[in-house]
Amino acid sequence: GAVVSQHPSWVICKSGTSVKIECRSLDFQATTMFWYRQFPKQSLMLMATSNEGSKATYEQGVEKDKFLINHASLTLSTLTVTSAHPEDSSFYICSASLADTQYFGPGTRLTVL
């Protein structure tokens, strides 16, 4: 079946630093990937749609300069949290669509101290 991986699975960083999270579709090509954020005990919130070879589409209220998305190839999208602050601490999940099914990565837990 289709597999989506994320790296790292867990990261702790200091306030003010930037963190890059990778999302890869391992055995299929994904022209579109999605980035979600999830706070504890809350649902997934779509942050942005990542399109291969073009700019990402951000949801209302999501700062595009803070959450940089790059979809450089058909199998890789990256989310960079720039100048991270403690309020950015969250669980970030990516997904990719294949044949009408959404496949999720395992998620990345970001903790900003």
Binding site residues, another protein, CB under 8 A: 32, 34, 36, 41-46, 49, 93, 95, 97, 100-107
- Shortest distance, CB of residue 61 to another protein, whole angstroms? 12
Comparing CB distances to another protein, the nearer of 84 and 107 is 107
Residues 23 and 43: their CA atoms lie apart, in Å, by 20
> What's the closest the beta carbon of residue 88 comes to another protein, in angstroms?
19
Q: From the CB of 16, what's the least distance to another protein, in Å?
A: 28
Name which of 15 and 73 has its Cβ closer to another protein. Answer: 73
When the beta carbons of 15 and 31 are compared against another protein, the nearer one is 31
> And the tokens for 21?
């999270």
Instruction: Tell me how far, at minimum, the Cβ of 15 lies from another protein, in Å.
Output: 26
Outline where DSSP puts E strands in the chain: 4-7, 10-13, 19-25, 32-38, 44-51, 57-58, 67-73, 76-81, 90-98, 101-104, 108-112
Q: Which of 16, 15, 10, 53 is nearest to 33 (CA)?
A: 53
In three-state secondary structure terms, 1 is coil
